Structure 1
Amino acid sequence: MPDLANTAYLDALNSEQRRAVEHGVGKDCIVGAPLLVIAGAGSGKTNTLAHRVAHLIVAGADPRRILLMTFSRRAAAEMAGRVERIARRVLGDRASIMTDALKWAGTFHGIGARLLREFAERIALDPAFTIHDREDSADLINLVRHDLGFSRTESRFPTKGTCLAIYSRCVNAEMPIEAVLGQFFPWCSGWAGELKQLFAAYVEAKQRQNVLDYDDLLLYWAQMVADPALAEEIGGRFDHVMVDEYQDTNRLQSSILLALKPAGRGLTVVGDDAQSIYSFRAATVRNILDFPAQFSPAAEIVTLDRNYRSTQPILSAANGVISLAKERFTKNLWTDRTSTRKPQLVTIRDEADQARYIVEQVLANREEGALLKHQAVLFRTSSHSGPLEVELTRRNIPFVKFGGLKFLDAAHVKDMLALLRFTANPRDRVAGFRILHLLPGVGPASAQRVLDHMTEAADPIAALAALPAPPR
Structure 2
Amino acid sequence: MPAAAYLETLNAEQRLAVEHGVGSAAGPLLVIAGAGSGKTNTLAHRVAHLIVNRADPRRILLMTFSRRAASEMMRRAERVVARALGGAGGGLADSLPWAGTFHGVGARLIRDYAETIGLDPQFTIHDREDSADLMNLVRHELGLSKTAKRFPLKGTCLAIYSRAVNAQAPVEQVLGQAFPWCAAWSAELKSLFAAYVEAKQRQNVLDYDDLLLYWAQMAQEPAIAADLGARFDHVLVDEYQDTNRLQASILLALKPDGHGLTVVGDDAQSIYSFRAATVRNILDFPKSFSPPAKIVTLDRNYRSTQPILEAANAVIGLSAERFTKNLWSDRRSDRRPRLVSVSDEGEQARYVAEAVLENREAGQKLKAQAALFRTSSHSAPLELELTRRNIPFVKFGGLKFLDAAHVKDLLALLRFAQNPRDRVAGFRVMQLLPGVGPATTARTLDAVVAAPDPVAALV
Q: How does the TM-score come out when normalised to structure 1?
A: 0.83
In the alignment, which residue of structure 2 is the partner of 1:83? Answer: 77
Check if 1:102 corresponds to 2:99.
no
Conserved? CA contact 1:36–1:269, under 8 Å: yes
Check if 1:350 corresponds to 2:347.
no
Check if 1:374 corresponds to 2:368.
yes
Within a 5 Å distance, the mapping from 1:72-151 to structure 2 comes to 72-151=66-145
Conserved? CA contact 1:83–1:99, under 8 Å: no
TM-fit CA distance, 1:360: 1.1
TM-fit CA distance, 1:229: 1.2
CA distance in 2, matches of 1:215, 1:99: 27
In the alignment, which residue of structure 1 is the partner of 2:154? Answer: 160
Within a 5 Å distance, the mapping from 1:311-350 to structure 2 comes to 311-350=305-344
Q: CA offsets per residue over residues 396-420 of structure 1, 9 Å max, x none? A: 0000111127xxxx99xxxxxxxxx
Check if 1:266 corresponds to 2:249.
no
Conserved? CA contact 1:134–1:213, under 8 Å: yes
Check if 1:288 corresponds to 2:285.
no
Read off the aligned partner of 1:293 and give its amino acid letter.
K
CA distance in 1, matches of 2:2, 2:354: 58
CA distance in 1, matches of 2:195, 2:91: 48
TM-fit CA distance, 1:31: 3.9
Match of 2:116, SS?
Answer: helix
TM-fit CA distance, 1:348: 1.3
Check if 1:395 corresponds to 2:389.
yes
**Could you say what the CA RMSD is over the residues aligned between the two structures, in angstroms?**
1.6
Match of 1:139, SS?
Answer: helix
Gaps (5+ residues) in structure 1?
Answer: 412-472
TM-fit CA distance, 1:97: 4.2
In the alignment, which residue of structure 2 is the partner of 1:276? Answer: 270
Identity of aligned residues (%): 75
In the alignment, which residue of structure 2 is the partner of 1:10? Answer: 7
Alignment partner of 2:21 out of 21, 24, 33? 24
Read off the aligned partner of 1:22 and give its amino acid letter.
E
Conserved? CA contact 2:24–2:234, under 8 Å: no
Q: CA offsets per residue over residues 392-442 of structure 1, 9 Å max, x none? A: 00000000111127xxxx99xxxxxxxxxxxxxxxxxxxxxxxxxxxxxxx
Within a 5 Å distance, the mapping from 1:425-436 to structure 2 comes to none
TM-fit CA distance, 1:30: 5.6
TM-fit CA distance, 1:283: 0.5
Within a 5 Å distance, the mapping from 1:413-452 to structure 2 comes to none
In the alignment, which residue of structure 1 is the partner of 2:27? Answer: 33
Conserved? CA contact 1:306–1:335, under 8 Å: yes
In the alignment, which residue of structure 2 is the partner of 1:243? Answer: 237
Within a 5 Å distance, the mapping from 1:162-311 to structure 2 comes to 162-311=156-305
CA distance in 1, matches of 2:347, 2:371: 15
CA distance in 2, matches of 1:356, 1:310: 27
In the alignment, which residue of structure 1 is the partner of 2:433? Answer: none
TM-fit CA distance, 1:232: 0.8
Q: CA offsets per residue over residues 92-145 of structure 1, 9 Å max, x none? A: 343124552100000000000000000111111110000001111111111111
Larger Rg: 1
Conserved? CA contact 2:24–2:259, under 8 Å: no
TM-fit CA distance, 1:5: 5.5
CA distance in 2, matches of 1:223, 1:392: 51
Q: How does the TM-score come out when normalised to structure 2?
A: 0.86
Gaps (5+ residues) in structure 2?
Answer: 406-459
Query: Structure 1 segments of 4 or more deviating over 4 A?
Result: none
Read off the aligned partner of 1:337 and give its amino acid letter.
R
Alignment partner of 1:61 out of 34, 45, 55? 55
Q: CA offsets per residue over residues 227-281 of structure 1, 9 Å max, x none? A: 0111011011100000000000000000000000000000000000000011110
Match of 2:373, SS?
Answer: coil
Conserved? CA contact 2:24–2:233, under 8 Å: no
CA distance in 2, matches of 1:119, 1:99: 24
Q: CA offsets per residue over residues 367-394 of structure 1, 9 Å max, x none? A: 1110010011111111111111111000
